[in-house]
Structure 1
């Protein structure tokens, strides 16, 4: 589903990704862990198409297409979703407005009919209930006045509504208490587990992986994947640290 080969990328003329290779097949959930500055968020932003992140080499294939050749909205319409480490506030726009416009824009790009207001609200209630979020929260401005945990749960509701084929979730567990972590983890399992879906979790901690249980764990260091294993690798990282494991 996603195939990255020898990817190199720079930010402000500094090389951050340096020959990264990774393949994620349909039906799989992968996790990437690594020290600060290793390039985890840079990878997420490059895949999402964020300006300022220049790809200088390598290739990325998604759903049989050249991902790097697509604009961010085209990547989203193809089924790509990026969960941000720091979800932004959008004053003056309600979550309901934002999500309905986002969903119907993607449906239009795929040649599908837009959802009516009633059908959309029914879908939104279903997905909000999955993340144990009150619909009143979705009537508020996007992330304005939300706690860190509320922002992450709202973003997971967004993922549920858009129903992507592939999700890159950048430190979705940050800012979550124990209960919220369980709710978000269960939401990821419900939304992104399936034979035609896949996900890439970027995290510093093993606690989210106890809920989501990835098929593979990768260590990203010095701009590339330096070690790959199963869930037990995350436990080893917790016990021994990156310097020992990624040496």
Structure 2
């Protein structure tokens, strides 16, 4: 009987040891969460559950070291907004989170998740570029700035287009998707200089064989304001922001 009691006490001692070890680990993790701002004291108020955060690249993948600007414009969409303060653009985006990033890593992060991220550039001589994001959000941005431009270039789908807005009103829009054409407003002087009158219209889309391509999108972007190839204008090294939507 004495041996049984000793065995029982030994088992209880082991159990208590592991319970104490587990409790210390749990308390340590809880303390770390509180210090990091991850733990919230319970309240009687109803707490709305926030949407899950967008997965942004890790610090090893996103660098804040100023570089570029880095050429872009292929297989992407972007906007040029008449603005000298990137914070105004970020505020208009209403991002769920933001992360400082240079051009190289910021553009790469947006390319990996085009519909859920936007790279906001620093100001470039009165313009701020917003690369990526869904079409509906880009239309919202266009309405909030005195002048805005929108560009689309996707060689795989054969989709190329550009649009010009002033004070929220679309003055000119052209888009060509596999021969299907949308064209509103008069050609701008810059389009005429570039020879864009050779492109199809809704009226002659079945017979016109001269279609726009990605170089045409870059050319009109340069003519209207900012050349995303950055071939002729030199800007100092800088960094922007990746915004998670």
TM-score (norm 2): 0.29
Higher strand share: 1
Higher helix share: 1
TM-score (norm 1): 0.29
